[in-house]
Amino acid sequence: MGTRRDFLKGVLASGAAATAGAVAVPAAARETRSRPPEALGLLYDGTLCVGCKACVAACKEANNNPAEFSTVDHLWDTPLDTSGYTFNLIKMYRNGTMDAKDQETNGYAFMKTSCMHCADPSCVSACPVSAMTKDPETGVVGYNPDKCIGCRYCVAACPFGIPKYQYDSPTGRIGKCELCRHRHKDGHYSACAEVCPTGATLFGRTEDLLAEAKRRIAMKPGELNRFPRGRLRPAQEKMLQGQPDGKGERKRKGWRHEPDQSYETPAGKYLQHVYGEKEYGGTQVLKLSGVNFEKLGMPNLPPDAAAAMSETIQHNLYGNLIMPFAVLGAMTWVAKRNVKPEDESSDKEGS
Amino acid sequence: MANHQHAAPAPVGGSLVNIVTLSCGVLIALMAAILMVRFLFGLGAVTALNDGYPWGIWIAVDVVIGSAFACGGFSVAMLVYIFNKGEYHPLVRPALLASLFGYTLAGAGVMFDLGRWWNVWNMFWPGSINPNSVMFEVAVCISLYIVVMWIEFSPVVMEQFGKRDMKKKVSKAMFFIIALGTVLPMMHQSSLGTLLVVMGGQVHPLWQTPALPLLYLLSAIFMGYAVVLFESCLTSTAYRRKIETQMLTPMAKIMLGILAVFIVVRLGDVIVRGALPKAFVPSVEALMFWLEMACFIAPLILIGAEANRRNPAKLFLAGVLLMLGGALMRLSGFLIGYETGGDFNYFPTLAEVLVTAGMFAAEVLGYIIITRRFPVLPREEAIH
Ligand code: SF4
Ligand code: SF4
Ligand code: SF4
For B161-181, how does the pLDDT look when each residue is reduced to its tens digit (9 = 90+)? 888 888 888 888 888 888 888
| Ligand 1 midpoint to CA B343 (Å) | 24
A159 to B197: CB separation less than 8 angstroms, yes or no = no
| Calpha distance A293→A212 (Å, rounded) | 19
Q: What is the Cα gyration radius of chain B? A: 21
- Decide the pairing of beta strands A164-165 and A141-143: unpaired
B50 to A149: CB separation less than 8 angstroms, yes or no = no
User: Ligand 2: which of A130, A134, A141, A311 to mutate, judged by most atoms within 8 Å of the beta carbon?
Assistant: A141
Instruction: Among A152, A160, A295, A321, pick the best mutation site for testing chain B contact (most B Cβ within 10 A).
Output: A152
The sign one gets for the Cα dihedral B68, B74, B76, B79 is negative
| Calpha distance A313→B194 (Å, rounded) | 8
- Decide the pairing of beta strands A40-45 and A285-288: parallel
Residue of B nearest to A12 (CA): B83
Residue A33 scores a pLDDT above 80: yes
**How many domains are contained in chain B?**
2
Residue of B nearest to A160 (CA): B340
pLDDT of residue A237: 54
Closest CA to A330 of A25, A6, A9, A115: A9
pTM for the whole structure: 0.89
In a domain, B195, yes or no: yes
Residue of B nearest to A174 (CA): B115
* Domain co-membership, B27 together with B74: no
Closest CA to B316 of B231, B259, B250: B231
In a domain, B9, yes or no: no
The sign one gets for the Cα dihedral B70, B71, B74, B75 is negative
pLDDT of residue A220: 94
CA distance B87 to chain A (A): 10
Whether ligand 2 lies within 6 angstroms of the CB of A62 is answered as no
Residues A234-248 pLDDT 10s: 654 555 454 444 444
| Calpha distance B328→B331 (Å, rounded) | 5
Q: What is the Cα gyration radius of chain A? A: 27
The arithmetic mean of pLDDT across residues A148-160, rounded, is: 96
* Domain co-membership, B221 together with B354: no
In order of A16, A325, B227, B322, the CA distances from A330 in angstroms are: 8, 9, 27, 29
Closest CA to B206 of B219, B198, B215: B215
Q: The domain that contains B231 carries what CATH number?
A: 1.20.1630.10
CA distance A216 to chain B (A): 29
A127 to B194: CB separation less than 8 angstroms, yes or no = no
Could you give the angle at the alpha carbon of A252 between the alpha carbons of A251 and A254, nearest 5°? 65
* Domain co-membership, B271 together with B366: no
Which ligand has an atom closest to residue A148 CA?
3
* Domain co-membership, B20 together with B164: no
Looking at ligand 3, which residue's alpha carbon is closest to its atom 5?
A127
Return mean pLDDT, chain B: 89
Question: Are the C-beta atoms of A172 and A203 separated by less than 8 Å?
Answer: no
Which atom of ligand 1 is found nearest the CA of A58? Answer: 1
Specify the 3-state DSSP secondary structure of A287.
strand
* Domain co-membership, B21 together with B103: no
Could you give the angle at the alpha carbon of A110 between the alpha carbons of A105 and A114, nearest 5°? 135
Cβ contacts (< 8 Å) between A85 and chain B: which residues?
A: none
Cβ contacts (< 8 Å) between A171 and chain B: which residues?
A: 42, 116
pLDDT of residue B2: 41
Provide the ipTM: 0.91
| Ligand 3 midpoint to CA A210 (Å) | 30
In a domain, B8, yes or no: no
The arithmetic mean of pLDDT across residues B100-115, rounded, is: 90
Residue A93 scores a pLDDT above 70: yes
What percentage of chain B reaches a pLDDT higher than 90?
A: 57
A to B CB pairs, distance under 8 Å: 235
Range of the domain at B366: 15-48+348-375
DSSP A296: G
The values of phi and psi at residue A111, to 5°, are -145, 135
Cβ contacts (< 8 Å) between B189 and chain A: which residues?
A: none
DSSP B336: I
* Domain co-membership, B242 together with B270: yes
The arithmetic mean of pLDDT across residues A100-116, rounded, is: 95
Closest CA to A53 of A1, A140, A112, A137: A112
The arithmetic mean of pLDDT across residues A126-137, rounded, is: 96
In a domain, B5, yes or no: no
Write the CB contacts of B318 (distance below 8 Å, at least 6 apart in sequence).
Answer: B226, B229, B252, B298, B299, B302, B303
Closest CA to A291 of A56, A119, A106: A106
CA distance A66 to chain B (A): 18
* Domain co-membership, B233 together with B217: yes
Residue A214 scores a pLDDT above 90: yes
pLDDT of residue A331: 79
| Calpha distance A316→A309 (Å, rounded) | 11
In a domain, B383, yes or no: no
* Domain co-membership, B183 together with B251: yes
The arithmetic mean of pLDDT across residues A9-27, rounded, is: 48
Among the residue ranges B54-58, B80-84, B182-186, B318-322, the one predicted with the least confidence is B80-84
pLDDT of residue A325: 79
Which atom of ligand 1 is found nearest the CA of A44? Answer: 7
Cβ contacts (< 8 Å) between A167 and chain B: which residues?
A: 42-44, 47, 49-50, 115
In a domain, B202, yes or no: yes
In a domain, B229, yes or no: yes
CA distance A107 to chain B (A): 21
A220, exposed or middle or buried, with CB in 10 Å at 0-12, 13-18, 19+? exposed
Cβ contacts (< 8 Å) between B176 and chain A: which residues?
A: 332, 335-336
Whether ligand 1 lies within 6 angstroms of the CB of A59 is answered as no
* Domain co-membership, B238 together with B169: yes
Residue of A nearest to B191 (CA): A314
* Domain co-membership, B240 together with B198: yes
The arithmetic mean of pLDDT across residues A112-121, rounded, is: 96
pLDDT of residue A239: 53
* Domain co-membership, B239 together with B139: yes
Residue A339 scores a pLDDT above 80: no
Kindly provide the b/e burial profile for residues A23-53, where b requires at least 16 CB atoms within 10 angstroms of the residue's own CB: eebeeeebebbebbebbbbbbbbbbbbeeeb
Residue A25 scores a pLDDT above 50: no
* Domain co-membership, B62 together with B198: yes
